Amino acid sequence: MAVAGLVSVRAFEAVFYDPLREYFTSDYMKKPVPQVDRMMFFLHTTLRYILNTALSLFIIRLLFDNINYVKWGVYLFAGAYVLLMPVYLWFPGHAGSESAFALFYIRRFLIQPVLGMLLIPAFYYLENTDKKRKEGFR
């Protein structure tokens, strides 16, 4: 169900205000970054980030019976948001097309569940190494 939620956020991306979606589907390297309504840009990106975060954390909780993984996920998602959102809001209107790749990847990280997709294998690896280590001490 949570995976379906992530798919739905992606499928209904047109609901969210994102003038960069059209920009990145065109020949963006030759065009200037479009102007954006910063408040709408901020609110819609934040809403999408929160939805993806909540669904990703729910999936982590379902896959691993360890609340500490969810706590770490919360810290990592919050830290990524605090670091990336100011840069993401600064780019349109300040950076030129030479910075389009950086804007593209920051945008991708904020609007897609990339961090969740990275955390799941990391937590799987951590869980398996912990089990092996505990078995080695018996």
Domain ranges of the chain: 17-27+36-136
Structure tokens at 30: 């030759």
Read off the pLDDT of each residue in 10-25 and give the average, rounded to a whole number: 87
Indicate the residue type of 49.
Y
Read off the pLDDT of each residue in 96-110 and give the average, rounded to a whole number: 81
Max CA pair span of the chain = 63
Res 19: pLDDT: 85
Indicate the residue type of 34.
P
Res 77: pLDDT: 97
Mean of pLDDT over the chain: 87
Res 102: pLDDT: 84
Q: Are 69 and 77 in contact (CB under 8 A)?
A: no
Task: Identify the H or E element spanning 63.
Answer: helix 38-63
Res 12: pLDDT: 92
- Cα distances (Å, whole numbers) of residue 80 to 1, 25, 32, 84, 115: 25, 25, 26, 6, 9
Res 50: pLDDT: 97
Res 53: pLDDT: 97
**Global confidence as pTM:** 0.85
